[in-house]
Homo-oligomer: A and B are copies of this chain.
Amino acid sequence: MAVLTREAKGVFAIAPTPFDEEGAVDFHSLHRLVDFYESVGVTGITLLGQMGEAPKLAHHEATRIVRHVLRRTRLPVVVGVSAPGYAAMRALTGEVMSAGAAGVMVAPPNTLRTDDQIVGYYEGVAAALGDAVPLVVQDYPLSFSVVMSAPVIARISRAVPNCVMLKHEDWPGLEKISALRHLEAEGDMPRLSILCGNGGLFLDFETARGADGAMTGYCFPEMLVDVVGHNAAGRSEESHDIFDAHLPLLRYEQQPGVGLAVRKYVMQRRGLLTSDNQRAPRSVLSSRARSEVDHLLARLARRDSRAKPVA
């Protein structure tokens, strides 16, 4: 059973929740997706993220999805367990950890403002979950309206020893990565694995700044794997080349609201999802938007053959 550590690297793919046309969870697509992620070299999978429509799942659906994925893969699986109360968070955490999850991810409630409130919240999380559960802090101000400075993340990592990873999606965020690595070098905080989100929009520079990889759901995780791999091997220009080839599509997918519809549409076109359906309330792609995505894919295919249409 995989356990999440501070040394985690590579790409943790955030899986969308596949639904069929009636809105039921589509486990066949989920299996296909997991196999695909393994085949392209991701180093982990993240379930029940915000973009994975976790809030739209019933409790029993959520845990069933986690168990299915854990039976299908040996990759470490991180599960989003954010909840308004610690009791529900602890209950879900207990279930997924005993099913074999590698760790859990917690986003801050959008009412937190001051440094002390943020640190106190994560101390409470740790007290509720116990110190045996590896914890990922999700830092996503655009979505949660909670801004964590580098010193605050350092305080959390000192106060909560089982906090091993930061899902970094501050925007702008490059200086924060440098600041965190500097704090580590100075001995002011333990090492954290830093995986970057925000759809990967700055991954080309984030890895060079010291991030360990990506945790995001971009519809071509292969590109994320490539960028991290090239950077690890010192091939900076190759990293930028493949990143830049994908950037027009990545940017299109990274639009708030409609982004998940783009992602699911491409994954359906790639044969990974049987349906691109979302549970309501949802954003829907217009036919015009679909043709724009098709256009972006056609242009991408000239530079990355993996974007060619499935026969």
Binding site for B on A (CB under 8 A): 23, 53, 55-59, 83-88, 91, 109-111, 113-117, 121, 124, 128, 141, 147-149, 151-152, 171-172, 174-175, 178, 201-202, 204-205, 209, 237, 240, 243-244, 247-248, 251-252, 255-258, 279-281, 286, 288-289, 292, 295, 299
Contacts and interface: CB of A to CB of B under 8 A. Distances in A.
B114 A149 contact: yes
Contacts of A151: 115-116
Contacts of A116: 149, 151
Given A116-B151, A247-B251, A178 B288 contact: yes
B251 A251 contact: yes
B256 A85 contact: no
A292 B174 contact: yes
Nearest to A240: B299
Given A248-B247, A286-B178, A58 B86 contact: no
A59 B85 CA distance: 13
A280 B84 contact: no
Given A115-B115, A152-B114, A247-B247, A279 B175 contact: no
19 contacts: A23-B87, A56-B84, A56-B85, A56-B88, A57-B85, A57-B88, A58-B88, A86-B279, A87-B279, A109-B281, A113-B113, A171-B255, A175-B286, A175-B289, A178-B286, A201-B251, A204-B248, A240-B295, A244-B299
A151 B55 CA distance: 30
A257 B286 CA distance: 32
Nearest to A54: B84
Given A57-B85, A209-B288, 17 more contacts: A23-B87, A85-B279, A85-B281, A110-B110, A114-B115, A114-B147, A117-B149, A124-B281, A128-B280, A172-B255, A172-B256, A172-B257, A175-B288, A175-B289, A201-B251, A240-B299, A247-B251
A50 to B, nearest CB: 9
